[in-house]
Amino acid sequence: MVSGRRRVVVIGGGIAGVSIAGELSHNHDIVLIEAEETLAHHTTGRSAAVLLPGYGNKIVRELTQRSITLYEERSEKYEVELLEPRAFLQIAGADRADALRDIVSKTPTMHMIDVEDAFTLCPYLQRDAVAAAAIDETGSAIDVASLHQTYVREIAANGGVIVKNKRVDAIAPGNPCVVSSGDETWECDLVVNAAGAWGDVVAAMANCKPVGLMPLRRTIFTTKVDPALGRGPMVFGTPEAYYFGLDHGVLLGSPADETLSEPCDARPEEIDVAQAIESVNEVTTFNIRSIDTAWAGLRTFAPDRSPVVGSRSDEPNFFWFCGQGGYGIQMGPGLAEYGAFLVRGQVPVEHGAAQVDVDRVSPNRFP
């Protein structure tokens, strides 16, 4: 067990960086460094903002389940509703109905519903496009900006420092480690790598082995629809080839694309937006012809799609907090709690954190 108050530099001001910095700020001296002028400029500011307990692999689901409790505690503490119930409807054409039944049999939070009930919930669905439907009523919409802000407040309340507009460009490992951005330097006992798509780039600066992170671009567009339609469930295709949802006059849609990218400020490609529109038009009566906005972000996965949390045995002063993929918001609070226990040298599961085997998330699982 690592005792005493340590100086920790966290690199990255997305949800990963602020959440673990917030947790650690209670008993460590924190400096969080973000390359952009605004925090959450990259993936965190570009998500679909949904929490789906049945989404992702077993590790992601465990972390999401624990997060739901932490979301509730955080909502109460900061007097803000971070989660709002939102149902998820998954639909399938005749050729995919068996595939949907198979998904439902493996997802305890979902159940099949009569297709007529799907049309009642979403009167804009094309009748001939839906042969089977299932629902998950345990999902939520997340207030991502407020969640992020609760951690920023926590860091500040505990005397932590947030430095914006400084891109870390060198890390000299050692005791202490020296983190630099241009002429400025920060000495610390531990570096936390929460750099999202840039996780392997930051590791290389510290002469640490990469884990093989894959930044995968995903696109979202929005367009206006009749506000009287209110807020429908999020609707997913089978397989996950598109999703869309209505929110009081705005339809948000995605082709659920996963295009390998370099770490960068991701931009939407016209072809992906067109694909998303076509998919939504195929299963609805909206007949979308134009959009209001489109954006893209990088969902960054480790090769096995589980997060990367911990230090390699031979690199003890470099702590990975990467590979949040498409679940970094929904499992964010649980993952930050888990990571903070590991930084403190504690066994997370013995302290009420998510029931996740340390070896399954450790960077040591990669060569």
Ligand X SMILES: Cc1cc2nc3c(=O)[nH]c(=O)nc-3n(C[C@H](O)[C@H](O)[C@H](O)COP(=O)(O)OP(=O)(O)OC[C@H]3O[C@@H](n4cnc5c(N)ncnc54)[C@H](O)[C@@H]3O)c2cc1C
Query: Which is it for strands 29-33 and 7-11: parallel, antiparallel or unpaired?
Result: parallel
Interaction between residue 34 and ligand X (CB under 6 A): yes
Minimum CB–partner distance for residue 18 and ligand X (Å): 8
Interaction between residue 44 and ligand X (CB under 6 A): yes
Collect all residues with Cβ–Cβ distance below 8 Å to 68 and sequence separation of at least 6.
51, 53, 83, 140
Interaction between residue 311 and ligand X (CB under 6 A): no
Among 24, 89, 177, 195, binds ligand X (CB under 6 A): 195
Question: 346 exposed, middle or buried (CB, 10 Å; 0-12, 13-18, 19+)?
Answer: middle
Quick check: 67 and 332 in contact, CB under 8 A?
Answer: yes
Among 327, 335, 337, 353, binds ligand X (CB under 6 A): 327
Size of interface with ligand X, in residues (CB under 6 A): 40
Strand, coil or helix: 162: strand
Let me know how long the chain is.
367
Quick check: 136 and 109 in contact, CB under 8 A?
Answer: yes
Q: How far apart are the first and last CA of the chain?
A: 26
Interaction between residue 82 and ligand X (CB under 6 A): no
Q: Which stretch binds ligand X (CB under 6 A): 34-42, 308-316, 338-346, 359-367?
A: 34-42
Exposure letters 306-318 (e unless 16+ CB within 10 A, then b): bbbbbbbeebebb
Among 6, 96, 148, 218, binds ligand X (CB under 6 A): 218
Per-residue x/- track, 92-131, ligand X (CB under 6 A): ----------------------------------------
Among 8, 9, 10, 15, binds ligand X (CB under 6 A): 15
Interaction between residue 150 and ligand X (CB under 6 A): no
Residue 287 CA to residue 115 CA, distance in Å, equals 21
- The alpha helices in 7-96, defined as continuous H runs, are 15-24, 58-78
Residue 11 CA to residue 49 CA, distance in Å, equals 23
Task: Count Cα neighbours of 90 within 13 Å in the Cβ-side half-sphere.
Answer: 26
- The alpha helices in 284-331, defined as continuous H runs, are none
Q: Would you say 49 or 113 has its CB closer to ligand X?
A: 49
Interaction between residue 43 and ligand X (CB under 6 A): yes
Interaction between residue 36 and ligand X (CB under 6 A): yes
Among 6, 8, 14, 255, binds ligand X (CB under 6 A): 14
Q: Which stretch binds ligand X (CB under 6 A): 112-120, 145-153, 195-203, 355-363?
A: 195-203
Interaction between residue 167 and ligand X (CB under 6 A): yes
Q: Which stretch binds ligand X (CB under 6 A): 36-44, 147-155, 284-292, 310-318?
A: 36-44
Residue 262 CA to residue 18 CA, distance in Å, equals 23
Interaction between residue 306 and ligand X (CB under 6 A): no
Interaction between residue 191 and ligand X (CB under 6 A): no
**Tokens 């990669």 label which residue?**
366
Among 12, 215, 233, 255, binds ligand X (CB under 6 A): 12
Among 32, 130, 191, 194, binds ligand X (CB under 6 A): 194
Interaction between residue 220 and ligand X (CB under 6 A): yes
Q: In what order do the strands lie in the sheet with 170-172?
A: 170-172, 177-181, 184-188
Minimum CB–partner distance for residue 217 and ligand X (Å): 7
Minimum CB–partner distance for residue 27 and ligand X (Å): 22
Rule CB under 6 A: which residues touch ligand X? 11-17, 33-36, 40-44, 46-50, 167-168, 194-198, 202, 218, 220, 297, 299, 324-330
